[in-house]
Structure 1
Amino acid sequence: MTRTLLTNARLIDPEADAIIEGALVLEAGKIAEILVQSADLSEDHLTDTNRIDCGGAFLAPGIIDIGVKVGEPGERHKESYKTAGLAAAAGGVTTIVTRPDTLPAIDTPEVMNFIRERAEDDCPVNVLPMAALTKGRAGREMTEIGFLMDAGAVGFTDCDRVVTDTKVLARAMTYARSLGALVMGHPQEPGLSQGAAVTSGKFATLRGLPGVSPMAERMGLDRDIALIEMTGVKYHADQITTARALPALERAKRNGFDITAGTSMHHLTLNELDVADYRTFFKVKPPLRSEDDRQAVIEAIRTGLIDVIGSFHTPQDEESKRLPYEEAAAGAVGLETMLPVLLRLYHAGELDLPTLFRALSLNPAKRLGLPAGRLAKGAPADLVLFDADKPLILDRFKLRSKSKNSPFDGARLQGRVLGTWVAGQRIFTA
């Protein structure tokens, strides 16, 4: 069987918290060997082997992106599985965990089967779909969690539609706990956050925009933590973006609750002032926070309090963004831009690369029970090769996504993906 040998690479090992110079041997879709030094190469490694010189670039586990929006069914004009897959491959994302906020919502096994078949036919990267927690994401009646798990759902969430009926949510969590299902919540107090466009404060007042207090996130998380304690469910908070929510998260982990948390690339690299003069491409959900919040979230990633970083890829068409700020749709694309954008934190000395890939690859894999996300013998050969120092000016019109709503259009970045492998097959070459 033909093997692939990736030599002259700087291997990022998030498990060992290390970067080492070495090589990988790929065979049968898995990592067959890890060679720490070139001296370990033998004639056996060069026989029937496709040899690729990485030129000293970084080689890391492929990114596992939790919370990706794809427009199928219902909004294929915004993003299809084909275009999302191409964007993911170009961004070093080897697995996308998709959201169920489609039209209709992914709340039945039939819709789930449609999604899986479409993804298998069109998408070059791994696709793991989540299903809605309640029917129609309406918060009134829970979905058939067991049947949806049988159909391939890896988690359950109503996305940004917070379930306001606590009894319904408690029942759904209890049932999910009995099946070992993962529930993903959006920590937000819905009454306070309704109609908000930005985070409340001096900037919101000066711009005359409706704001939401950071306490809304804390209040939403407090309620969910109480229900986790009551039901014992496996829970993942999709986005923690404020300093005020972090003590509650720390206490829940210290108390032994089965809880993990994520944050977005945008909340790690932007703040509320980036909205400037009503720039709607910077409108995301939750809204961008203060610089103090941004720094607190970076520190939470560094210490491991926040486990996962995601793109929260949300494609929107031009018509929904070219509106007054209050009326414009929230969300930004991020599959293709996430790695170069997050490398800002590396170049600024705020996060090292093993820590970054622990949040991008290893921790998402652990939460979902996947063997991926690590450089280890026998692990899936899902990999990203990148030059961390390669400069680029981002042009949103060159993005592979159907929608081009990126807040980083025209930004000067450092970092370019050179190659992406899924199950040992190269699916992207720069």
Structure 2
Amino acid sequence: MNGSSLLICGARIIDPANGFDGEGFVSVREGRIESCGRLRPGGDFDQTLGAEGRWLMPGLIDLAGRLREPGQSGKGTLRSESRAALAGGITTLVLPPDTRPAIDSPAVLDWLRSRVAELGDFELLPLGALTRGLEGRVLAEMAALSAAGCVGVSQATAPLDDSLLMRRALEYAATLDLSVHIVPMSGALAGNGCAHEGAVATRLGLPAIPVAAETTAMAQWLALAETTGARLHFGRLSSARAATMLIQAQSAGLPVTADVAMHALWLSDADLEGFDPHCHVIPPLREADDREALRHAVASGAIGAICSDHQPHEGDAKTNPFPLTEPGISGLDTLLSLGLGLIDQGVIEPIDLVARLTSGPARILRRASGSLTPGARADFVLLDPQARWDVGPQTLLSRGRNTPFLGRSLRGRVLGTWFSGRRVFER
């Protein structure tokens, strides 16, 4: 209950928003963080939880996760996928607008809001469609979408190659102070490609998507953002060149942020060998050098967030020849554990990893969340960092089993997730 009080003792508290990493105490009252620090707070508590040897961090904020409702409940539902999110420590999830129908009207938002209210155990932040039906022809009613609660606007992965419409979209968004979330991809250059343009795609005979499909789109959006003053967020960057362009834009003072999908920090186009359909993603997996450049940009903070890019599928969606399979990986269950793997490989420090999963996304969204600051909503996660688990059908809570990490042994298990002071998941 929100009215109860809780004291957690002895955990390693990692709170990047406040620069805190050390053992201590967290207390919760009335659904809010009461205190967080090295000293035990005074007063009585309804419940005291010993957490020695555990990590305690803010609830994760995922900038891109499909829940498949409305429109594709055969792949997943709000109930099934939100449970997978909570099991992975995710308490806030941004929903791209490519639902069916697309999130291009307040009516779709009202339906989503009523369904989430029935569940009541996580925060869903929808992105509105940039164009009606995501068709790239006519701008959506951004003012109505913003008033209805959208935190930004996006084309999801649908291309938008009309430069005049792009400019009008940025001008419209800027008047509303809405951020524009773009997965940069030139539809003309990407065509019907399904793999990175390189030696692997050539050898396998797969239609390819060049890096230029990403970078030319980025260059166009950046030029228009400079003209209009709109806030741009680039989602799911995939190449070293894109990371360099991002850093240059940020150095020039443009209001530009970015995220990367967790799988892009682990996989490369070499993983397509054998035509593994679980590695069919858009944007495609690039070369090993691209992966290393993305890792460096995440570690430095240029890329401020890591997301799951969760896209659950039924089994049949991945059983056709590679180009005909549906792209996407089921990533909610594995997001945090794969992140711990980056720590093990020396890619990133623990506090920086937690920042890319909590305070970083919060800053991008301009939300007062992702921290354990006294007074903040009590969303947090308790993790056993040493527990190992095998990725398999019996351990994934998402309805989607489409992950290239099946069979891997990962480190780190969420023991409990709290939302607004209520324990909404317990392992």
- Is 1:35 the counterpart of 2:4 in the alignment? no
Q: Give 1:19-168 correspondences, 5 Å limit.
A: 19-37=21-39, 40-42=40-42, 44=43, 47-122=44-119, 124-168=121-165
Q: Give 1:376-391 correspondences, 5 Å limit.
A: 376-391=373-388
* Alignment-mate amino acid for residue 4 of structure 1: L
Q: Give 1:221-370 correspondences, 5 Å limit.
A: 221-370=218-367
Distance of 2:19 and 2:230 partners within structure 1: 30
Query: Which consecutive aligned stretches of 4+ in structure 1 deviate over 3 angstroms post-superposition?
Result: none
Secondary structure at the residue paired with 1:389?
strand
Secondary structure at the residue paired with 2:33?
strand
Q: TM-score, normalised by structure 2?
A: 0.97
1:179 corresponds in structure 2 to 176
Q: Deviations over 1:34-89 (max 9, x none)?
A: 1314xx354x2xx2431011132010111100111121111111111111110011
Distance of 1:361 and 1:395 partners within structure 2: 26
Aligned-residue offset at 1:123: 5.3
| More deviation, 219-228/242-251 | 242-251
Distance of 1:348 and 1:176 partners within structure 2: 40
* Alignment-mate amino acid for residue 36 of structure 2: I
The answer to whether the 8 Å contact 2:61/2:361 transfers is yes
Aligned-residue offset at 1:247: 2.2
Secondary structure at the residue paired with 2:98?
coil
Distance of 1:290 and 1:352 partners within structure 2: 24
Once the two structures are aligned, what percentage of the paired residues are identical? 34
The answer to whether the 8 Å contact 1:139/1:162 transfers is yes
Aligned-residue offset at 1:398: 3.4
Gaps of 5+ in 1: none
| More deviation, 50-59/395-404 | 395-404
- Is 1:3 the counterpart of 2:5 in the alignment? yes
Distance of 1:419 and 1:41 partners within structure 2: 22
Secondary structure at the residue paired with 1:89?
helix
Report the aligned-residue RMSD: 1.3
The answer to whether the 8 Å contact 2:200/2:273 transfers is no
Distance of 2:366 and 2:30 partners within structure 1: 21
The answer to whether the 8 Å contact 1:17/1:355 transfers is no
* Alignment-mate amino acid for residue 328 of structure 1: T
Q: 1:14 aligns with which of 6, 13, 16?
A: 16
Gaps of 5+ in 2: none
Aligned-residue offset at 1:429: 1.0
Aligned-residue offset at 1:397: 4.3
- The number of equivalent residue pairs is 425
